[in-house]
Amino acid sequence: MPDSGVSRVLRKEDQRFLTGRGHYTDDLNRPGQLHAVFVRSEMAHATVKSVSTDAAKQAPGVVAVFTGQDMADDGVGSLPCGWVVTDKHGEAHKAPPHFPLVRDKVRYVGDHVAVVIAETRAQAADAAELVEVDYEGLDANADPAKALEGAPQIHDEAPGNLCFDWELGDKAAVDEAFSKAHHVSRLELRNNRLIPNALEPRAAIGEYDPGTDEYTLYSTSQNPHLLRLILCAFVLNLPEHKVRIVAPDVGGGFGSKIYCYAEETVCTWASKKLNGKPVKWTAERSESFSSDAHGRDHVTHAELALDENGKFLALKVDTIANLGAYLSSFATAVPTYLYGTLLAGQYKTPAVHCNVRAVFTNTAPVDAYRGAGRPEATYVVERMVERAARDMNMDPAEIRRRNFVQPDEFPYQTPVALTYDSGQYEKALDEALAMIDYKNFGQRRQESERNGKLRGIGLSAYIEACGIAPSQVVGALGAGVGLWESAQVRFNATGSISVFTGSHSHGQGHETTFAQLVADRFGVPVENVDVVHGDTGRIPMGMGTYGSRSLAVGGSAIVRACDKVIEKGKKIAAHLLEASVDDIEFDSGNFRVAGTDKQKSIGEIAFTAYVPHNYPEGVEPGLDETAFYDPANFTYPAGVHIAEVEIDPETGTTRIADWVAVDDFGKVINPMIVEGQVHGGIAQGIGQALLEEGVYDEAGQLVTGSYQDYCMPRADDLPSYRVGMIETPCPHNPVGAKGCGEAGAIAAPPALMNAITDALGTEEISMPATREKVWRIARGRLAQAAE
Amino acid sequence: MPTVTMTVNGQQVSRDVEPRTLLVQFLREELGLTGTHVGCDTSQCGACVVHVDGTSVKACTALAMQADGSEVTTIEGLANNGELHPMQAAFKEHHGLQCGFCTPGMVMSAVDLLKRNPDPDEDTIRHWLEGNICRCTGYHNIVKAIQHAAKEMRG
Ligand code: FES
Ligand code: FES
């Protein structure tokens, strides 16, 4: 396990970003490029009777206008959902077609009706106004809770708007436990719809080369190979070796840039139609709001059964999950295998049952957003646990302590399919309690009360399943792909190292962390290592970055490739040192004959590998190894976050007085980067709990379609965070890492809502706990107190 | 088409532009200075902040013609002969950036803050950054970086 590599190395990528020399997709311009602007539906639900493009085609600078019919005529397929969920009756989920440009109906505001391609973006935008669409309006529904109750039928293929009705866990055991329970706590929860808002809007340039019949797509993707696979195999029917996808610098993803979207599909296809003219599209922010895949949007009823000592006996969860108008690439996995499987939390609840009905509505498609299913699960479990503690008059820390899986109980088989590998849940709790001075909270509360303020404290002990994922396991559960990762580690002849990874960095700092990993393995300076990612023309096929998988899976592939390099190096060294391979040891950059001072540096070995004048027989020249790593299990990052808030009942303002986090990510390579990931995750979690909500009105219009209406967390909305860490290495991957990217977004919402409900003395407040909602309740409480 | 002339990062430039050309389009598309980013269409994210005559301006809200005759500094012009400006250096040192998309605007905005107030406290910094959205960092390290840059620059 690399130990010496752990350090706060400053990021290699920062130089270009700080000096304005990054290359994001919209910064790229191809010779002769044209610009695409999409004609989007302004109706939430309507039959498209006709699309008239004549006037637009005549407009200045316009080169082409395409509709769904043009794509249909060309045999373009539907954007697929890559995970088939089998429902509780053994039936596959309903997968209605999702064409890049609509063919019969529009189903949400922002749906793609036509594309106008012109010499300039302004010309394309002007001409898009001239496309006339004749709609026959239909009733719309945006509310998941109403989708199953006689709401308008959105797809013929999905009667009653039901995509699937799925369950997990032993219902009979749960019912039995409930019948014997000393106490049952109940909660109705709404997990609010979020709009991801990576700061870089999505963008694409499609470019076809008629000379070679090759396509290049520059795209804001978190996973260029996965995108290529979907585009080639399902949508455009192209041979993969003729398609190169470049995802250059990408300005944040948070899940929203995993998917195969209509826009990049259209740009790629249209470039061929236009004889190789590159076609560029960059989203306006309003398009990001209406057509990036959204996150969350669950309605849940949960019940927890307890015995008289506060031990959890069983948990029962019933959820309606909104999938939006169409299935996005991995939409179905999120409210099922990334959600129901996490409902045991950090606890030994012996029986858990979860039922999920996933529904179609007239809203933007919903898919993975930072955490993806796990924040929804953690929100249910941690709100429920806090509620139970309150119901039973127990200390919320104590009730958790009584139910934690203990360090000597791993591997721990949960009742919802997962096998937890390692953890120290109580240790994280104790450290977090100490950091926030939990035992003196009462004094602080009194102090606040003296100042006319309401103070509350809230805990969240989260767990997530990361390191996605063992291919056989996910295959058995319906995934259409394997979820391994690849790496190629190439020594250059003069000793520098190029690392090619299938992981993709869009803010995570892989160019630094992965370089540290390799530098440490080889005992060379980190400056000698460069990391290449994001270009299918340069890297081995890889599965990309999401689900906090990059270090645990991608890093493991890198370590495996390094080990192959060392194995080969030993053969070369043995030859040069006239020793047996078995006697060669590698340490701190040198191959040494065990027990002697005879040695060769890895640089000398690399040079010899490329200039093999004196070389072992039967060994190939070169020092360049590739490894594919398929994880043995998920990884299980876990930890405790505690929020302390002070509410001003006069204004409804929730001030976050303190925030502590103690996370266990297993092995950490660069603590500075990991802390940054935690900060960012917490900020998004606080955003969900306090500020953010994607709102559609009754007619299916997106009410929060800009930064004026969708409340993004700003610097003055947020506190500083105090981040601590404990380390229980992952026992089954060679890095020992568990993953850190999503933790904050998973842990934060229940911590904050537990604190707010503690301060307000009621559970009856939903996310986001806006100033107005808080003010109404706090005012009521003051009035009560005055009586 | 009218001609605009301005000094950008110390160099005089003149171009004929359509009157509706925004300053940010002028910088990105005419001059190829793509360090200035566009993150929104409602003047709220701050990814596009540059300095016009020494003051931070959202380049998506100004027309190129409004900057006629001005001195414009973009993120590309902030470092001095390859040496990072103390604000850039502090962002690096304190991990004030992740994906880097908000970073040029953040840095330009923060430089202007310190011009006005060389010793801002945390609240002042957070308040000043109200017009700059970062989705990645949670602002914690950005605030820290600005505090350190302020200290550094006060000497
Ligand atoms: S681009 Fe968002 S404020 Fe200028
Ligand atoms: S670093 Fe990504 S938006 Fe700020």
Q: Domain span at residue B103?
A: 86-154
Question: What count of other Cβ atoms lies within 10 Å of the Cβ of residue B104?
Answer: 30
Cα of B136 from ligand 2 centre, angstroms: 4
Question: What count of other Cβ atoms lies within 10 Å of the Cβ of residue A476?
Answer: 9
* Cβ separation A18–B37 shorter than 8 A: no
CB of A11 less than 8 A from some CB of B: yes
Task: Measure A777 CA to nearest chain B CA, in Å.
Answer: 27
Indicate whether A216 and A303 sit together in one domain.
Answer: no
Q: Are A714 and B133 in contact (CB under 8 A)?
A: yes
Radius of gyration of chain B from its Cα atoms, rounded to whole angstroms:
15
Indicate whether B127 and B66 sit together in one domain.
Answer: no
Indicate whether A311 and A446 sit together in one domain.
Answer: yes
Distance CA B114, CA A465 (A): 44
* Closest Cβ opposite residue B138 in set A16, A26, A682: A682
Atom of ligand 2 nearest to the CA of A200: 3
Indicate whether A700 and A683 sit together in one domain.
Answer: yes
Whether pLDDT at A4 is above 90: no
Q: Of A594, A629, A664, which one is at a domain's C-terminal end? A: A629
For position A540, what pLDDT does the model report?
94
| The pair of three-digit structure tokens given for residue B100, joined into one six-digit string | 């880097």
Cα of B21 from ligand 1 centre, angstroms: 15
Cα of A560 from ligand 2 centre, angstroms: 32
Atom of ligand 2 nearest to the CA of B97: 1
Indicate whether A653 and A534 sit together in one domain.
Answer: no
pLDDT band at A5 (very low <50, low <70, confident <90, very high): low
Q: Angle between the B86-93 and B140-154 helix axes, to the nearest 10 degrees? A: 140
Distance CA A145, CA A320 (A): 7
In a domain, A146, yes or no: no
pLDDT averaged over chain A?
96
In a domain, A395, yes or no: yes
* Cβ separation B137–A506 shorter than 8 A: no
For position B82, what pLDDT does the model report?
87
Indicate whether B68 and B94 sit together in one domain.
Answer: no
Q: Of A629, A647, A669, which one is at a domain's C-terminal end? A: A629
pLDDT band at A480 (very low <50, low <70, confident <90, very high): confident
Indicate whether B144 and B90 sit together in one domain.
Answer: yes
Distance CA A459, CA A573 (A): 55
For position A479, what pLDDT does the model report?
87
In a domain, A643, yes or no: yes
Distance CA A589, CA A599 (A): 10
Q: Of B56, B77, B98, which one is at a domain's C-terminal end? A: B77
Sites in chain B below the pLDDT cut of 70:
none
- CATH number, domain of A375, equals 3.30.365.10
Q: Domain span at residue A126?
A: 15-138+199-252+257-291
Q: Of B51, B77, B103, which one is at a domain's C-terminal end? A: B77
The residue type found at B130 is E
Indicate whether A488 and A563 sit together in one domain.
Answer: yes
Q: Which residue of A has its CA nearest to B101?
A: A251
* Closest Cβ opposite residue B97 in set A14, A20, A720: A14
Instruction: Please report which residue ranges of A548-670 form alpha helices under DSSP H.
Output: 556-577, 602-610
Q: Which residue of B has its CA nearest to A286?
A: B41
Indicate whether B149 and B92 sit together in one domain.
Answer: yes
* Closest Cβ opposite residue A707 in set B44, B92, B100: B44
The residue type found at A223 is N
Which chain B residues are within 8 Å of A672, Cβ to Cβ?
Answer: 95
For position A617, what pLDDT does the model report?
96
Q: Of B77, B98, B116, which one is at a domain's C-terminal end? A: B77
- Number of structural domains (chain A) is 3
Indicate whether B13 and B49 sit together in one domain.
Answer: yes
Indicate whether B68 and B132 sit together in one domain.
Answer: no
Average pLDDT over residues A187-209: 98
Which chain A residues are within 8 Å of B78, Cβ to Cβ?
Answer: 19
Q: Are A475 and A559 in contact (CB under 8 A)?
A: no
Tell me which DSSP letter residue A378 carries: H
Cα of B133 from ligand 2 centre, angstroms: 8
Task: Measure B133 CA to nearest chain A CA, in Å.
Answer: 6
For position A481, what pLDDT does the model report?
86
Burial class (CB in 10 A: 0-12, 13-18, 19+), A157: exposed
For position A500, what pLDDT does the model report?
96
In a domain, A275, yes or no: yes
- CATH number, domain of B122, equals 1.10.150.120
Whether pLDDT at A216 is above 70: yes
Average pLDDT over residues A494-521: 95
Q: Which residue of A has its CA nearest to B139?
A: A715
Distance CA B85, CA B76 (A): 11
Which A positions 231-270 lie with beta carbon below 8 A of chain B? 249-252, 254
The pLDDT tens digits for B30-59 are 999 999 999 999 999 999 999 999 999 999
- Is the CB of B28 inside a 6 Å radius of any atom of ligand 1? no
Atom of ligand 2 nearest to the CA of A252: 2
Distance CA A465, CA A476 (A): 17
Indicate whether B13 and B65 sit together in one domain.
Answer: yes
Ligand 2 pocket test target in A199, A505, A506 with most atoms within 8 Å of CB:
A199
For position A626, what pLDDT does the model report?
97
Cα of A549 from ligand 1 centre, angstroms: 32
φ/ψ region of A666 (left if φ > 0, alpha if ψ in -120 to 50, else beta) reads left
Question: What count of other Cβ atoms lies within 10 Å of the Cβ of residue A673?
Answer: 25
The pLDDT tens digits for A672-727 are 999 999 999 999 999 999 999 999 999 999 999 999 999 999 999 999 999 999 99
| The pair of three-digit structure tokens given for residue A404, joined into one six-digit string | 């934690």
The pLDDT tens digits for A604-660 are 999 999 999 999 999 999 999 999 999 999 999 999 999 999 999 999 999 999 999
Q: Are A312 and A204 in contact (CB under 8 A)?
A: no
Indicate whether A223 and A87 sit together in one domain.
Answer: yes
Indicate whether A674 and A735 sit together in one domain.
Answer: yes
For position A338, what pLDDT does the model report?
96
Task: Measure A686 CA to nearest chain B CA, in Å.
Answer: 10
A interface mutation test: which of B18, B85, B98, B126 has the most A CBs within 10 A? B98
Indicate whether A538 and A612 sit together in one domain.
Answer: yes
Indicate whether A117 and A60 sit together in one domain.
Answer: yes
Q: Three-class SS of residue B83?
A: strand
Give A172's Cβ-side CA count (13 Å radius): 0
The pLDDT tens digits for A403-423 are 999 999 999 999 999 999 999
Q: pLDDT > 90: what percent of chain A?
A: 95
- Number of structural domains (chain B) is 2
